[in-house]
Structure 1
Amino acid sequence: MLLNSLLPLFVLAAAAFAVPAQEKRIHHHADLSDRVHDDAQGFQYDHEAFLGKEESKTFDQLTPEESKDKLAKIVDRIDTDKDGYVSHAELHYWIKHRQRRYIEENVNKHWKDYDKNQDGKIGWEEYKNTTYGFYLGEEFDDIDDKATYKSMLTRDERRFKSADRDGDGIATREEFTAFLHPEEFDHMTDVIVQETVEDIDKNGDGKIDINEYIGDMYTTEDGEGEPDWVQTERKHFNEFRDTNKDGVMDGGEVANWILPGEVDHADNEAKHLIHETDTDKDGRLSLSELLDKADFVKTSTITDYGGMTLDEHDEL
């Protein structure tokens, strides 16, 4: 979860590398999109699910002709059996491929920043000194929001130790991937749940009540009534999130919420995209169907939310 505090610019510059633990809270659909999956509010979630979310502005800057030409090339890549149609299996595989590529590129980007001695590993001290080194000697005394930075350091160290499975204080590439993307690793479940509870639990009881749950998503303005989707979330909390009906979500219930078992969100998104785009309802997508829905498709995960570039190095 991004920090709510606005820190002085010089502090932000000094802590520019403090990305992983504070970069996001992990939710069950984080890799597909950070958008709300509600077609009534628009199709940005599906756009990002089809295209990828890192370079979304690129696609939007193309002319209609250029974007359709680019989309046609992407569809050709997805159609692995070259029968002229995109099946559910091909679409599902493609979305999973885009997820894996995003994670790999993100890890590669950060690896260069932290592996200072270029030994192919990242020690906790390397990470800590790169991220917080300028202020460590003073224990953050010169920073206005000292408590926040101490909390960030504690949180980073806890996540790093959870990812460091052999406990040697040094992260291999796989362990560093678990540090940056704990949602991809079963052994990181506990730290994901702990971070989520800490972000939302305002009264410090280690649990999430309904006001904390709603307050994390929506703040009521004076004189405003709650929108329908907030009422729906209240219902979801009472009927589905709080499974033992004690009025709060404990760690197990939070885990079921943010990491719901074997739910395959790439599979669900593939089904949804076909449902929205398959005009003749034959269960597969032709190029013409996709081009007819180009505005819907071009900003989904299939094209990295509009920023995907195609070259010979982008192998499936």
Structure 2
Amino acid sequence: MIRPLLLCFFLCVACGRSKPTEKKSRVVEEEPLSHAKHEDDEGFEYDHEAFLGEDEAPKFDKLPLEESVRRLSLIVDRIDVNKDDFISEDELKIWIETVQRNHTFDQMESQWKHYDADQDGLISWDEYNRTKYSDGTHLESEFNYSKVMVREERHFRAADRDGDFKADKQEFNAFLHPENHQHMREIVVQETIDEIDKNGDGFIDLKEFMDDLQIPENDENFPEWAETERQHFLDIKDKNKDRKLDRQETMDWIFKPDLSYADAESKHLVTESDADKDGKLTKTEILNNHEMFVGSQVTNYGEALLRHDEF
């Protein structure tokens, strides 16, 4: 099923306030590169899925070793966009990000017919809203889904670049995965400011930030996590040290630009495979470490799977 990022975000920002000391987060979490453990001493499933995608990686696991390495060689040629015969961290990062964007698009494709009720190649807001909430179970829960629907409609309109209130596949993908689309991030930032900014000055000051955590600024009995959040506000989030967050600082806070999963994985792959420690990889270095990048069978099992359009 489609990962309900949008809904998870709404739940984080609008759920009930039953526990005064319970931490909540407005950070929009990135889609993980893999749901496997990233522990190389136990195997390379995480690296395979990060490098190839969750759908493509299992196909390589069924390939004979020689074919798997051959296809990896072709992939390396694609990653080397400047054709200098080296693979940099940036080139690896771009490849991994592209693989993940393709994966989220494929997720959207798998659900497209479910929402495109009239099969006209577009999903209108009415189609989406009617399909998602048709069984009434959402509306009977304690959570106020009417607010979610209002926000979802606002996001749907933001994703609808041509303004016809119908989403094509690119627009619908932006609606489902706003973290991957800059124009969608802007509306999430504005909504965050609107909800926290109680004095209406267009900024989030320290008191408003702490109030949003349901911890008064002058409370002497802070839980440890709340004190940590206060210090992070002052030392990290508030970059210009004016004790309030502007739009860019709010953007940096909720979308965490410091180190993405793709950043971390590209650095990991280079570090583990860079034999001469020059900070970049040759094709030979990658192929010598093929088991980290791609899977394979050591027998000829799966010969029937060798035909693949991309290779």
TM-score (norm 1): 0.59
The 1:23/1:312 distance shift into structure 2, 3 A limit, reads: farther
Structure 2: 5+ residue stretches without partners: 11-25, 215-222, 296-304
Matching of residue 284 in structure 1 with residue 297 in structure 2: no
**Which residue in 1 is equivalent to 2:77?**
80
The aligned runs of 1:136-285 (5 Å cut-off) are 140=139, 143-147=140-144, 149-194=145-190, 207=204, 236-259=232-255, 266=262, 269-282=265-278, 283-285=280-282
**Which residue in 1 is equivalent to 2:6?**
21
8 Å contact kept, 2:6–2:177:
no
- Cα offset for 1:96? 3.5
Whole-Å separation in 1 of the counterparts to 2:48 and 2:213: 26
- Cα offset for 1:47? 6.2
Whole-Å separation in 2 of the counterparts to 1:310 and 1:96: 26
**Larger Rg computed on CA atoms:** 2
8 Å contact kept, 1:214–1:234:
no
The 1:125/1:276 distance shift into structure 2, 3 A limit, reads: same
- Cα offset for 1:126? 0.4
- 1:94-125 per-position Cα deviation (integer Å, ceiling 9, x unaligned): 32431231132122122121111111111110
- Cα offset for 1:257? 3.1
SS of structure 2 residue aligned to 1:313: coil
The 1:286/1:168 distance shift into structure 2, 3 A limit, reads: closer
- Cα offset for 1:275? 2.3
Code of the residue aligned with 2:309 in structure 1: it is H
**Which residue in 1 is equivalent to 2:106?**
105
8 Å contact kept, 1:123–1:170:
yes
- Cα offset for 1:132? 0.6
SS of structure 1 residue aligned to 2:251: helix
8 Å contact kept, 1:115–1:121:
yes
- Cα offset for 1:179? 0.9
**Which residue in 2 is equivalent to 1:30?**
30
Whole-Å separation in 1 of the counterparts to 2:281 and 2:130: 52
8 Å contact kept, 2:49–2:56:
no
8 Å contact kept, 2:86–2:283:
yes
Greater relative CO (CA pairs within 8 A, separation 6+): 1
Whole-Å separation in 2 of the counterparts to 1:44 and 1:249: 40
The 1:47/1:168 distance shift into structure 2, 3 A limit, reads: same
Code of the residue aligned with 1:188 in structure 2: it is M
8 Å contact kept, 1:86–1:284:
yes
- 1:17-61 per-position Cα deviation (integer Å, ceiling 9, x unaligned): 8946215689788256488xx99xx999766533435688x59xx
Structure 1: 5+ residue stretches without partners: 1-15, 216-223, 300-308
8 Å contact kept, 1:202–1:212:
no
**Which residue in 2 is equivalent to 1:306?**
none
8 Å contact kept, 1:78–1:90:
no
TM-score (norm 2): 0.60
The aligned runs of 1:48-87 (5 Å cut-off) are 49-53=50-54, 72=69, 75-80=72-77, 87=87
SS of structure 2 residue aligned to 1:80: helix
SS of structure 2 residue aligned to 1:49: helix
Whole-Å separation in 2 of the counterparts to 1:47 and 1:163: 32
Over the matched positions of the two proteins, sequence identity in percent amounts to: 31
Matching of residue 134 in structure 1 with residue 135 in structure 2: yes
The 1:109/1:204 distance shift into structure 2, 3 A limit, reads: farther
- Cα offset for 1:268? 6.6
Whole-Å separation in 1 of the counterparts to 2:294 and 2:224: 35
Whole-Å separation in 2 of the counterparts to 1:203 and 1:79: 52
> How many corresponding residue pairs?
263
Code of the residue aligned with 2:239 in structure 1: it is T
